[in-house]
């Protein structure tokens, strides 16, 4: 069935495409040119094939509908959008929710991290490292894994690295199935706080509709402690697995590696300080339990949300939109009097222009968000979220709540005693590289981080309940004219919502989730987006010939970013040779009975 052909440009490269990429969320295509002689990916293009047009159909609607609508942007992190929208609305309406309402949102969002990272790490990414996959791509590595004792076997119970890999086999693996169960009780924790998953029912501007009772917190805490115990096994398990790859495949640190260009917009507000005013945003931003920051080449450029806000630019270049140059500018100055750029989301106009896909010109529905540091338009990535969050929090050294402490070079996570395991501390240290394995490792550590912050928030929330302060919602009025911005960290990274209200209606609304940053295309300056950039640098370690090539290293590089769109790639093998191989289905196919 395979049609194979060399790249038409006489370069000797092989064109390959994956479409749709499975085990991610949404619609993303990766088109590559591979140099099989040098075992490297020479070129990569990232494309998304679905357009829905939220910022178009939200215009003219009641601003109070925004969180309900924007939640539907994403089916795995919709609650992050609802939360971000509620933050933006709180700013626009000038309302500050009761503390308890904020603790409840933090507990819901922490549960979202715990759920989402868990299901993605074990049931989507984990499969790339499972026995079955490694056997099909690097049989030599599996042999070595069989002979390699797991250093932390005492903590997680798997004797060899191959045992860990077997436990990750789809459906048949014990740990794979356990993770599915964990993804369920963490969603129950989420539903306790936000009503339902993934589109919350109890979230409102001004707070939440959740009835705050002792029962609510007991139900949450009982499940949380089970998760804490689970993490005491999972962190060492993944350390063993990912460390093994460095050992088994020297040079594997290059897979998915790119320059350290990380963005984190901060998450989980401290209600003692957060008043949702733009004027105080720099201050309360620094009080978040995940510190915002832009990290370039290992250095913290800023942790100031006002700077972060003003630096955002939306570029086009390879996307199916008409430019909005010369269109009306909604916001010329922010509430502090700082000038706002015409390419800032507050001023964006979305004008869809569907057309044929052409990799030399326009090839995606994703735009090119960049962060302007005063000199360059940086193609920041989030590394799937956790690596940027931990990096930024570690460098700022501001978080210190007992369960979590940022040291300036690391983050210490202290988990209390659980039913069968003693008190345990983990330290995430700033890694040497921003690459696929470190993105994955950070994901596991951040799960522990989220659980630790949740312990703090649950204690604070319960304090309010015990003191009888059970109000969770505050009244507000929608102004005729106003603007708001919400910043949070979606599971996969930076999330901002920019809203402009005129005549009491939405005049402009632009949500920017992490994936537009990560999956962005070549911009007007020709700078590739993060997936493109990371995949272009990826060496090929797979043992298969081009005919049986799966592109596992490319898939590992792309999935390390935790993409949130459906993907695609075409395969043309060099030399005009036709390959006729039909693979027997695996995974979810044909397992029944």
- What is the footprint of another protein within residues 184-213 (CB under 8 A)? 184, 187-188, 191-192, 195-204, 206-212
User: Smaller CB distance to another protein: residue 398 or 579?
Assistant: 579
Q: How far apart are the first and last CA of the chain?
A: 29
Size of the site for another protein (CB under 8 A): 115
Which residues are bridge partners to 294 per DSSP?
A: 263, 302
Binder of another protein out of 321, 426, 449, 549 (CB under 8 A): 549
Give the residue, chosen from 38, 39, 65, 577, that forms a contact with another protein under the rule CB under 8 A: 65
CA distance 296 to 302: 10
Looking at 183, 434, 496, 536, which residue binds another protein (CB under 8 A)?
A: 183
DSSP H or E segment with residue 54: helix 54-57
Q: Which two tokens stand for residue 410?
A: 């690391």
CB of residue 512 vs another protein: minimum separation in angstroms? 16
Contact status: 89 vs another protein (CB under 8 A) = no
Q: Which stretch binds another protein (CB under 8 A): 129-137, 295-303, 339-347, 439-447?
A: 129-137
DSSP 320-363: SB---TTSPPS-SB-TTS-B--TTSGGG----B------TTS--
CB of 378 to another protein, least distance (A): 28
Strand-strand pairing, 293-296 and 261-264: antiparallel
**Within 34-53, which residues bind another protein (CB under 8 A)?**
49-53
User: What does the radius of gyration of the chain's CA atoms come to, in whole angstroms?
Assistant: 23
Contact 161, 244 (CB under 8 A): yes
**What 3-state DSSP class applies to 369?**
strand
Choose the binding region for another protein from 117-125, 265-273, 330-338, 419-427 (rule: CB under 8 A): 117-125
Smallest separation (angstroms) from another protein to the CB of 552: 8
**Binding of another protein by 580 (CB under 8 A):** no
Of residues 409 and 466, the one with the C-beta less far from another protein: 466
Using the contact rule CB under 8 A, the part of the chain among 127-135, 323-331, 374-382, 491-499 near another protein is: 127-135
Contact with another protein (CB under 8 A) among 23, 226, 405, 502: 23
Stretch that binds another protein, among 252-260, 272-280, 292-300, 583-591 (CB under 8 A): 583-591
CA-angle at 241, arms to 240 and 246, nearest 5°: 95
Q: How many CA atoms lie within 13 A of 477 on its CB side?
A: 3
Q: Which one among 117, 156, 166, 232 touches another protein, defined by CB under 8 A?
A: 166
**Closest by CA position to 331, among listed 308, 361, 300, 309:** 309
What does the alpha-carbon distance between residue 228 and residue 8 come to, in Å, rounded to a whole number? 54
Among 6, 13, 133, 300, binds another protein (CB under 8 A): 133
Query: Which residues are 321's β-sheet partners?
Result: 352
d(CA 119, CA 360): 36
| Site for another protein contains 59 (CB under 8 A) | yes
In DSSP notation, 158-176 reads -SBHHHHHHHTSTTTSHHH
Q: Is 214 in the site for another protein (CB under 8 A)?
A: no
Euclidean distance between CA atoms 327 and 240, whole angstroms: 54
| Closest to 305 measured CA to CA, from 443, 495, 452 | 495
Nearer to another protein, 297 or 477 (CB): 477
56 touches another protein (CB under 8 A): yes
Is 95 a binding residue for another protein by CB under 8 A? The answer is no
Please calculate the CA angle 170-49-491 and round it to the nearest 5 degrees.
55
Looking only at residues 466 through 505 of this chain, which bind another protein when binding is defined by CB under 8 A? 470-473, 475
Q: Among 146, 548, 575, 577, which residue interacts with another protein (rule: CB under 8 A)?
A: 548
Provide the minimum distance between the beta carbon of 300 and another protein in the complex, in angstroms, as a whole number: 34
Q: Which residues in the 550-579 window bind another protein by CB under 8 A?
A: 550-551, 555, 566, 568-573, 579
As measured in angstroms, the least distance from the Cβ of 364 to another protein is: 11
């Amino acid at each position: 069935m395979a049609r194979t052909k060399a790249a038409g440009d006489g370069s000797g490269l092989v064109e390959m495409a994956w479409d749709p990429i499975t085990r991610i969320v949404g619609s993303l295509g990766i088109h590559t040119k591979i140099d099989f002689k040098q075992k490297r990916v020479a070129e990569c293009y990232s494309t998304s094939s679905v357009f829905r047009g939220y910022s178009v159909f939200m215009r003219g609607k009641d601003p109070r509908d925004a969180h309900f609508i924007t939640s539907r942007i994403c089916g795995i992190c919709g609650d992050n959008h609802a939360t971000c929208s509620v933050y933006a609305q709180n700013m626009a309406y000038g309302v500050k929710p009761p503390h308890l309402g904020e603790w409840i949102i933090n507990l819901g969002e922490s549960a979202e991290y715990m759920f989402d990272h868990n299901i993605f790490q074990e049931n989507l990414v984990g499969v790339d490292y499972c026995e079955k996959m490694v056997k099909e791509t690097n049989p030599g590595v599996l042999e070595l894994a069989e002979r390699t004792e797991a250093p932390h076997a005492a903590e997680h119970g798997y004797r060899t690295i191959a045992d860990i890999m077997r436990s990750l086999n789809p459906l048949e693996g014990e740990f794979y199935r356990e993770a599915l169960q964990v993804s369920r009780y963490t969603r129950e924790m989420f539903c306790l706080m936000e009503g339902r998953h993934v589109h919350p029912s109890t979230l409102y501007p001004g707070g939440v509709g959740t009835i705050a009772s002792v029962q609510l917190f007991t139900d949450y805490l009982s499940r949380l402690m089970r998760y804490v115990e689970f993490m005491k096994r999972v962190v060492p398990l993944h350390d063993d697995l990912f460390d093994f790859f460095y050992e088994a495949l020297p040079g594997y640190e290059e897979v998915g590696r790119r320059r350290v260009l990380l963005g984190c917009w901060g998450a989980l507000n401290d209600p003692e300080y957060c008043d949702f005013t733009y004027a105080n945003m720099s201050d309360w931003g620094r009080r978040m339990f995940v510190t915002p920051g832009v990290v370039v080449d290992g250095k913290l450029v800023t942790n100031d949300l006002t700077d972060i806000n003003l630096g955002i630019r939306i570029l086009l270049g390879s996307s199916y939109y008409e430019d909005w140059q010369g269109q009306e500018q909604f916001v010329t100055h922010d509430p502090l009097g700082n000038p706002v750029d015409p390419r800032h989301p507050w001023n964006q106009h979305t004008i869809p222009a569907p057309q044929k896909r052409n990799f030399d010109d326009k090839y995606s529905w994703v735009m090119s968000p960049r962060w302007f540091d005063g000199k360059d338009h940086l193609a920041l990535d989030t590394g799937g979220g956790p690596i940027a969050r931990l990096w930024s929090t570690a460098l700022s050294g501001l978080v210190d709540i007992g369960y979590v402490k940022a040291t300036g070079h690391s983050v210490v996570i202290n988990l209390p005693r659980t039913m069968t395991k003693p008190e345990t501390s983990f330290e995430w240290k700033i890694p040497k590289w921003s690459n696929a394995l470190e993105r994955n490792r950070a994901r596991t550590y951040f799960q522990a981080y989220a659980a630790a912050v949740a312990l703090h928030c649950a204690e604070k929330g319960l304090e309010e309940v015990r003191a009888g302060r059970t109000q969770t919602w505050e009244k507000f009025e929608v102004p005729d004219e106003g603007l708001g911005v919400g910043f949070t960290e979606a599971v996969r990274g930076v999330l901002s919502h920019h809203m402009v209200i005129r005549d009491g209606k939405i005049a402009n609304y632009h949500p920017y989730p992490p994936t537009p940053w990560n999956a962005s295309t070549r911009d007007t300056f020709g700078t590739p987006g993060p997936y493109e950039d990371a995949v272009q640098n990826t060496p090929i370690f797979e043992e298969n010939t081009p005919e049986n090539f799966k592109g596992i290293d490319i898939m590992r590089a792309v999935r390390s970013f935790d993409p949130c769109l459906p993907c695609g790639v075409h395969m043309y093998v060099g030399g005009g040779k036709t390959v006729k191989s039909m693979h027997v289905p695996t995974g979810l196919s044909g397992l029944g009975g």
